[in-house]
């Protein structure tokens, strides 16, 4: 029961959720109708509009992301990692669609971009083992493990199915580190490249190192190539990126406070 409540809060109390947006506007509207709070209500609503405008623009999102993404880049040469290194790729969400008694799992944008990076590395490193990590984070809505959608994407990108190991029990980054460590130790693998989005890499590296592992980071893109954007024009995809960045800042603080990094 407690975990269900936590899952709901994690998905609704975020800047990018419609619930949070409406809640902030509602607070401002209530202040406007409060006799002594009208001035505060106007300031509140102006701040909400300005804040959402800022974090929804390419410039605002990039400024927010810069504190998380600096220092992490994709591996460009095979010589940058030890020979025989495996790849651990962390899922970033998936969706289960149902109709007519059938269901279809599809990767989220974050998972798709991580799969693209892992497939590129697979070709670069010459047939390494890939661990696809991710369980059923929100089982009520998406009952299948995220690793399945990730694995299907990897196969579609040319990775042989027999070179993919599925880690399908984890629900968060801490569990991904623990479960991946167990698989690596069972297979006597000492070196691996960690693939996740550049936004998630700082926290992931801290968690994996705290678990006693020494990954080589290879950051995946946070958005697809070939998209042109106006720096100050609000767009949904940049609100989503800012939302992810704010979430990771808070998660980093929480992990640090609990001694998990």
Give residue limits of the domains in the chain.
2-55, 73-222+234-257
Q: Could you give the strand order of the β-sheet that contains 164-167, starting from the edge strand earlier in sequence?
A: 164-167, 130-133, 86-90, 192-197, 216-220
| Unique residue bearing structure tokens 């100050």 | 232
Average pLDDT in the chain? 92
CA distance 106 to 112: 9
Residue 22, exposed/middle/buried by CB under 10 A (0-12, 13-18, 19+)? exposed
Q: What is the pLDDT of residues 96-107, one digit of tens each?
A: 888 998 988 899
Q: How many CA atoms lie within 13 A of 73 on its CB side?
A: 5
CB 146 within 8 A of CB 189: no
The backbone torsions φ and ψ at residue 94, rounded to the nearest 5 degrees and listed phi first, read: -155, 170
Report the DSSP beta bridge partners of residue 132. Answer: 89, 166
CA distance 249 to 179: 24
pLDDT at 11: 73
CB 6 within 8 A of CB 254: no
Superfamily of domain 73-222+234-257: HUPs (3.40.50.620)
Residue 249, exposed/middle/buried by CB under 10 A (0-12, 13-18, 19+)? middle
Q: What is the pLDDT along the chain (261 residues), one digit of tens a residue?
A: 555 666 666 778 899 999 999 999 999 999 998 878 899 999 999 999 999 999 999 999 999 999 999 889 999 999 999 999 999 999 999 998 889 989 888 999 999 999 999 999 999 999 999 999 999 887 766 778 999 999 999 999 999 999 999 999 999 999 999 999 999 999 999 999 999 999 999 999 999 999 999 999 999 999 998 777 888 899 999 999 999 999 999 999 999 888 877
CA distance between the termini of the chain: 27
Predicted TM-score of the model (pTM): 0.90
């Amino acid at each position: 029961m407690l975990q269900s409540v936590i899952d709901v809060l994690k998905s609704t109390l975020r800047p990018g959720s419609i619930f949070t947006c409406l809640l902030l506007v509602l607070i401002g509207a209530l202040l406007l109708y409060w006799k002594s709070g009208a001035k505060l209500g106007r300031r509140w609503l102006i701040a909400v509009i300005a804040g959402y405008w800022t974090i929804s623009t390419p410039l605002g999102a990039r400024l927010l992301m810069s504190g998380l993404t600096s220092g992490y880049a994709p591996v460009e040469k095979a010589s940058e990692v030890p020979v025989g290194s495996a790849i651990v790729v962390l899922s970033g969400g998936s969706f289960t669609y149902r109709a007519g008694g059938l269901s279809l799992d599809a990767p989220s944008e974050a998972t798709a971009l991580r799969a693209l990076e892992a497939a590129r590395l697979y070709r670069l490193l010459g047939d390494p083992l890939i661990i696809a990590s991710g369980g059923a984070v929100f089982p009520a809505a998406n009952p299948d493990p995220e690793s399945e959608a990730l694995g299907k994407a990897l196969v579609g990108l040319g990775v042989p199915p027999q070179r993919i190991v599925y880690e399908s029990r984890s629900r968060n980054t801490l569990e991904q580190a623990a479960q991946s460590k167990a698989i690596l130790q069972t297979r006597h693998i000492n070196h691996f490249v960690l693939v996740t989005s550049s936004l998630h890499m700082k926290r992931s590296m801290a968690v994996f190192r705290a678990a006693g592992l020494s990954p080589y980071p290879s950051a995946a893109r946070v958005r697809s190539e070939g998209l042109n954007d106006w720096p100050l024009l609000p767009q949904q995809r940049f609100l989503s990126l800012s939302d992810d960045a704010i979430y990771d800042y808070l998660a980093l603080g929480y992990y640090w406070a609990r001694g998990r990094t």
